[in-house]
Amino acid sequence: MFGLVVRFTCKDEASAEEFDRLVGETVEKIRELEPGTFVYATHRVEGQPLQRIFYELYRDREAFDAHEAQEHTKRFLGARDELLASVEVDWLELQAGKGTAG
């Protein structure tokens, strides 16, 4: 299993709305086209209206690489930068869990 958590901070409320629209379009394609993507959960942060958290779990590194190579992911990555003030990524190493291989 391969995972990451990403914190996005949008520039302003208008950027946050556009970011959410872009995310919605992207998640539709992930559901439809990515069997190796086990979890791709997007969250708003309570009390932080410009922040979004993504929690992503993939079958393995190859499934993540396949996700990154998809046209919908490339579109998201290219369009998001103008909407964001910052991006923070934490790469995860599974220790134990429920519903996981660990």
Q: What ranges do the domains of the chain cover?
A: 2-92
> Tokens 């599974």 correspond to what residue?
94
- Res 28 pLDDT > 70: yes
Mean pLDDT of 76-87: 97
- Structure token pair of residue 86: 């910052």
94 vs 11, which has greater pLDDT?
A: 11
- pLDDT value of residue 97: 84
Average pLDDT for the chain: 96
CB atoms within 10 A of CB 86: 11
Provide the CATH number for the domain formed by 2-92 in this structure.
3.30.70.100
Whether the pTM exceeds 0.85: the reply is yes
- Structure token pair of residue 87: 């991006």
Range with the poorest average pLDDT among 21-25, 52-56, 59-63, 95-99: 95-99
- pLDDT value of residue 102: 59
